[in-house]
Structure 1
Amino acid sequence: MANIDYYLGTISPFAYLAGDRLERIAERHAATITYKPLDILQLFDRTGGVRPANRHASRMEYRAQELSRWSDHLGMALNIKPAFWPVNMAPSSYAIIAAQKTGGGDLGGLVQAILRAVWAEDRDISDDGVLRDILGRHGFDPALVDKGLFVGAETYGRNLEQAVEAGVFGSPFYVVQESGQKFWGQDRLDFLDRHLAAL
């Protein structure tokens, strides 16, 4: 059985565009997924990337075109300029970490709903009320928003360190533990699928 470390920023539009494809691939190959939300902006700082706010206008113009193309290609609604972006990623990341530790709900659905809240629903994922609603809708105790703060903060920081050590530099980023193979971007999921089939 393969194990996939999934590194993501909860404000990443490309993680949103991955939809549920990772979960379907993992199910097809009986693989497990460990969700590792992190501060994607700090990851850029640590690995030679550039925060969106500091990128050249030509890069941001191309990014907007790519997002529009991919959302159309995948049939996924996407607001190029969300009402709440950028937003503090820590609360939503803590919620994912606490839900993963607790178990019992639809973790993949929770992650996708948080991303969708930013990019398709114009919701503030730093708001406790929004997170309680999303947690509850996916089978988790809404009180995890309050209960998971300590372990969330500790794991959130550790995820960033592990990402840097593993050679991760963007979101979404998938690392297969058994082979060390790395896949950056939702447009590399087909390659991840083929790799898992060959293990």
Structure 2
Amino acid sequence: MPHIDYYFSTISPYTYLVGGRLQEIARRHAATVTYKPFDILGAFSRTGGQPVPQRHPSRIDYRAQELPRQARKQGMPLNMKPAHWPTNAAPSSYAVIAAQKAGGGDLPQLIQRLLACCWVEEKDIAEDQVIKTCLSESGFDPTLADSGLLTGAEVYAANLEEAVSNGVFGAPFFICDDGQKFWGQDRLEDLDLHLKGEL
């Protein structure tokens, strides 16, 4: 049974654009997925990346064209200038980590709800009530937002170290158990083909 380690950021628009496609791919190939939220800005500083405002204007201009194109391609709404971005990704990431450990709910839905709150619904996913609502909507105990803080902080920090050591430099990033790596929501087709044995 193949396995995928999925490194992502809860404030990444490209992670938002993954939508439900990773789960569809995993189902087709009976693959398991471990969800690993990590500090994307921490990864940038250690792997040569830069936060959006610090990038060259040509890169910023391209991003402003590419994101809406990709959103249209997936039929997904996207607000290019959300009211609460950037925001602190740690609290929402802690909640994802706690939910994955607790089980019992729909983890992919939780992740997508948090991302949609940021990139569509003008909500601040660093706010406790926003996180608790997303947990509840996804079938998890909303108190995980409080009880999972310590473990969440430890795992979140460990995920960053693991990501950097495994060659992760952006989000979303997918690593198969055979070592093959795929960066970006636009590489999901390649991930699918690889799991089919065709790439």
Which TM bucket (shorter chain)?
A: over 0.9
User: CA–CA distance in 1 between the matches of 2:22 and 2:11?
Assistant: 18
- The match for 2:48 is 48
CA shift for structure 1 position 73: 1.1
- The match for 1:77 is 77
Counterpart of 2:183, as a letter, is W
The within-5 A match list for 1:1-199 is: 1-177=1-177, 179-198=178-197
User: CA–CA distance in 2 between the matches of 1:150 and 1:36?
Assistant: 16
User: CA–CA distance in 2 between the matches of 1:59 and 1:188?
Assistant: 20
User: CA–CA distance in 1 between the matches of 2:70 and 2:41?
Assistant: 22
Identity in percent: 59
User: CA–CA distance in 1 between the matches of 2:56 and 2:84?
Assistant: 22
User: CA–CA distance in 1 between the matches of 2:175 and 2:20?
Assistant: 17
Counterpart of 2:57, as a letter, is A
Give the alignment's TM-score, normalised by structure 2. Answer: 0.98
Counterpart of 1:192, as a letter, is L
CA shift for structure 1 position 153: 0.2
User: CA–CA distance in 2 between the matches of 1:176 and 1:193?
Assistant: 11
Counterpart of 1:66, as a letter, is E
4+ residue runs over 4 A deviation: none
User: CA–CA distance in 2 between the matches of 1:165 and 1:41?
Assistant: 15
Describe the SS at the equivalent of 1:123: coil
The gaps in structure 2 that reach 5 residues or longer are none
User: CA–CA distance in 2 between the matches of 1:70 and 1:194?
Assistant: 20
CA shift for structure 1 position 46: 0.6
User: CA–CA distance in 2 between the matches of 1:113 and 1:6?
Assistant: 17
CA shift for structure 1 position 50: 1.1
CA shift for structure 1 position 115: 0.7
Counterpart of 2:113, as a letter, is A
Describe the SS at the equivalent of 1:36: strand
Counterpart of 2:76, as a letter, is M
Q: More deviation in 147-156 or 57-66?
A: 57-66
1:50-74: CA deviation from partner (whole Å, max 9, x where unpaired): 1112111221111010011111111
User: CA–CA distance in 1 between the matches of 2:113 and 2:99?
Assistant: 13
Give the alignment's TM-score, normalised by structure 1. Answer: 0.98
1:109-134: CA deviation from partner (whole Å, max 9, x where unpaired): 11111111110111110000000000
Describe the SS at the equivalent of 2:36: strand
